[in-house]
Amino acid sequence: MKNGMKNGILKSLLRLLQNRNKAEAPPPVPAASPRGISSKLAANLQRFRAEFGNSSDLVTREMRFGGAEGPRIALVYLDGLTDMKALMQSLAGEAAPGVRERKSARQWLDHLKQTAIAAGEIKEAGVWGDVVLAVLSGETAMFVDGCADVLTIGTQGGDRRNVEEPNTQSVIRGPREGFTETLRTNTAMVRRKIRDVRVRTEAMRIGRVTQTDVAIMYVQGLAADNILAEVHARLNRIDTDGILESGYIEEFIQDGKYSPFPTVFSTERPDTIAAGLLEGRVAVFVDGTPFVLLVPALFTQFYQAPEDYYQRADFSTLLRLLRFVCFMIALLAPSVYIAVTTFHQELLPTPLLIGLAGQREGVPFPAFIEAVMMEIMFEILREGGVRMPKTIGQSVSIVGTLVIGQAAVEAGLVSPAMVIVVAITAISNFVIPAFNMAISLRMLRFLFMAVAASFGLFGVVICLIGLVLHLCSLKSFGVPYLAPFAPLQLNDQKDSLFRLPAWMLRTRPRSLQDRNVYRQPPKGKAP
């Protein structure tokens, strides 16, 4: 009897739990049509809310269009991603009494698409996945009760950063505008500079979860077909869940994946992208970042600044030569100092040698340990200055460098000459316009220092030979990385180490394309 009572109690508890689960279960979503969209307005809105999990930023607004006899319509959008002002104003004007003709749902949809809605872009979607993706992209989906087709309206908006001067690539003379995080704003800034119908913009989405908008821009007839095909092939091969910045794309499409040297150029400046397109390069825009990629990227390109083309040719040439000198200083100065003071003292004049020996008299560490300590200390200060708030970052990095350097010398940990070598090395690194190329030199510097401490100048020379061979083996989208030096192209030398006057730059780089090579008509020929 007791067992029977226990079984009855257990059965009643199970029934209560089942009834509670049924009561708390969400209402079933109506079955979708073959195309995924129902002709019933309530069913579509219910499915939207179910798929988005009743998110608080999902707005579903129902209204009756065209007065009492008009159809019921619904607007679905995500709050914060859309600008509904123009759309609501046009609908309010049409909703006033005056539209009294009896129409079918399909006719009402055509009327809304062709007459009633004042928006820049209106598309018709018949697949549920396309509608959901449009809403996630900031567009507004408009449903008409009784119609299985949907209008997606281009209402992208929300808070966006205004066009400002780029912080990473400032110039004394030249445009002050930089890219923003909005894809269409960035492409429009380039189109303002190149007003030609041959400018092509191709859109795609990359990322299974993020569905990030990516655009490829080039000038038809200037960009080589093989480079375009390679860009498309590499982008289409990307299969990942998310793309949050152009750096993701860069790592997927770059050549020499284990090389310290960058083979993809990135910039915040529209004039740099416009100049690259006119040379036959291809730009890759990624929504959500102000950094645009430019390919192919050659070694000399990372030592050229936009300002070179806005100043006189002689002054620009001087600056370019100075940058290449700073490249050698940033790469070799600490290693040469270590090699000379450790193995090749005979190369120094006697007074200088005596002075260096006097400075190092109380230093307990060899030159290599000195250099490594100072370089690591400077890297820590530089990284700390970057990560700290802007108001105190620069002051802390400058004061920290002066105080720690002076204290290290007074404590006898390093010699004054080593502080000078490390300081001029760091300053030379800042002269290089491209930040990613400067990072490559910072990494290679430690390798050269270790080789110099082990084998002297002979090891430094062998490392230099290996570095040149490595650079010669690199390519960027099929173009040799060291062009126009290796292979040597005399026609392109006028805009490499030297920058000749603009009226002498008649041809485009032949390493990029060999079809439309003339910027200006050849001598003796009319344009």
pLDDT digits (tens, 9 = 90+) for 227-282: 999 999 999 999 999 999 999 999 999 998 889 999 999 999 999 999 999 999 99
How far is residue 457's CA from residue 82's CA, in Å, rounded to a whole number? 63
Mean pLDDT, to the nearest integer, of 140-151? 89
Q: Return the closest-CA partner of residue 215 out of 265, 286, 271.
A: 286
Q: Return the closest-CA partner of residue 178 out of 273, 290, 277.
A: 290
pLDDT at site 302: 93
How far is residue 297's CA from residue 391's CA, in Å, rounded to a whole number? 35
Q: Where are the beta strands (DSSP E) in 236-395?
A: 265-267, 282-286, 292-295
Residue 319: partners with Cβ closer than 8 Å, 6 or more residues away: 305, 307, 308, 311
Mean pLDDT, to the nearest integer, of 76-94? 74
pTM of the model: 0.83
- Scored b (16 or more CB within 10 A) or e, 445-456 reads bbebbbbbbeeb
Mean pLDDT, to the nearest integer, of 399-416? 77
Q: Tell me which of 92-96, 311-315, 327-331, 408-412 is least confident.
A: 92-96
Residue 179: count of CB within 10 angstroms of its CB: 25
Give 307-330 pLDDT, tens digit per residue. 889 989 999 999 999 999 999 999
pLDDT at site 227: 93
Q: Is the pLDDT of residue 94 over 70?
A: no
Q: Return the closest-CA partner of residue 505 out of 268, 237, 304, 294.
A: 304
Q: Is the pLDDT of residue 97 over 50?
A: no
Mean pLDDT, to the nearest integer, of 405-433? 85
Mean pLDDT, to the nearest integer, of 418-443? 90
Q: Tell me which of 46-50, 64-68, 245-249, 409-413 is least confident.
A: 64-68
Determine the 3-state secondary structure of 173 from DSSP.
Answer: coil
Query: Could you identify the residue written with the tokens 């219910």?
Result: 46
Q: Is the pLDDT of residue 526 over 90?
A: no
Whether omega for the bond prior to residue 30 falls within 30 degrees of 0, making it cis, is no
Q: Is the pLDDT of residue 371 over 60?
A: yes
β-pairing, 150-153 with 199-206?
unpaired
How far is residue 470's CA from residue 468's CA, in Å, rounded to a whole number? 5
Q: Return the closest-CA partner of residue 435 out of 307, 329, 305.
A: 305
Query: Could you identify the residue written with the tokens 């960058």?
Result: 262
307 vs 23, residue with greater confidence: 307
Q: 214 with 235: CB under 8 angstroms?
A: yes
**Residue 80's pLDDT band (cuts 50, 70, 90):** confident
Q: Where are the domains of the chain?
A: 41-153, 183-297, 309-480
pLDDT at site 22: 46
As a whole number of Å, the end-to-end CA separation of the chain is 109
Whether omega for the bond prior to residue 166 falls within 30 degrees of 0, making it cis, is no
* Token code pair at residue 494: 């006028």
H helices present in 388-434, as ranges: 390-410, 416-431
pLDDT at site 27: 44
β-pairing, 265-267 with 475-476?
unpaired
Mean pLDDT, to the nearest integer, of 192-211? 92
Q: Is the pLDDT of residue 102 over 60?
A: no
Mean pLDDT, to the nearest integer, of 162-171? 82
pLDDT at site 30: 42
Q: 200 with 231: CB under 8 angstroms?
A: no
Q: 497 with 308: CB under 8 angstroms?
A: no
Q: 145 with 41: CB under 8 angstroms?
A: yes
Mean pLDDT, to the nearest integer, of 14-39? 53
pLDDT at site 417: 87
Whether omega for the bond prior to residue 296 falls within 30 degrees of 0, making it cis, is yes
Work out the angle at residue 291's Cα, subtended by the Cα atoms of residues 288 and 297, and round it to the nearest 5 degrees: 140
* Token code pair at residue 92: 């309010």
pLDDT at site 68: 65
| Average pLDDT over all residues of the chain | 84
Q: Return the closest-CA partner of residue 279 out of 526, 485, 484, 486.
A: 484
Q: Backbone phi, then psi, for 283, in 5-degree steps?
A: -105, 145
Give me the half-sphere count of Cα atoms (radius 13 Å) on the Cβ side of residue 229: 4
β-pairing, 140-144 with 150-153?
antiparallel
Mean pLDDT, to the nearest integer, of 57-72? 80
Mean pLDDT, to the nearest integer, of 459-475? 94
How far is residue 321's CA from residue 146's CA, in Å, rounded to a whole number? 71
**Residue 440's pLDDT band (cuts 50, 70, 90):** very high
Please give the share of the chain, as a percent, with pLDDT higher than 90: 37
pLDDT at site 90: 63
